[in-house]
Amino acid sequence: KNEVEQSPQNLTAQEGEFITINCSYSVGISALHWLQQHPGGGIVSLFMLSSGKKKHGRLIATINIQEKHSSLHITASHPRDSAVYICAVRPLTGTASKLTFGTGTRLQVTL
């Protein structure tokens, strides 16, 4: 079992829909990251969370440390949001620098 599980693996939505991507992890963490990867490989860091909720534009990320779960929400989705969204955690044990990644959620937003 992977330490970081994401769901769904693939998601298709129509423009304007509210989107939720989930991330569950099995280890104690010091931080959780949400990343966006466009075709061609470029990765952009969206959020780094250790508790509560963060908002940036149409993106909202929440984390529940007790339940070891985080969600990424996209409001009023747009075709330009189409990308792979990756959850990554920084475990409490082991090397502090090491991120463990989920396999990603591929989102396609259609007109």
The residue within the footprint of another protein, chosen from 51, 64, 103, 110 (CB under 8 A), is: 103
Which residues, numbered 43-72, are part of the site for another protein (CB under 8 A)?
A: 43-45, 48
Contact 4/23 with Cβ under 8 angstroms? yes
Of residues 73-92, those binding another protein (CB under 8 A)? 86, 88, 90
Quick one: which segment of 52-60, 66-74, 75-83, 95-103 binds another protein (CB under 8 A)? 95-103
# residues near another protein by CB under 8 A = 25
Backbone angles phi, psi at 81, to 5 degrees: -80, -10
SS in 3 state form for 44-98? Answer: EEEEEECCEEEEECCEEEEEECCCCEEEEEECCCCHHHCEEEEEEEEECCCCCCC
- Which of 30, 75, 108, 110 binds another protein (CB under 8 A)? It is 30
13-21, 31-39, 51-59, 73-81 -> range binding another protein (CB under 8 A)? 31-39
Phi and psi angles of residue 84, each rounded to the nearest 5 degrees, phi first: -100, 130
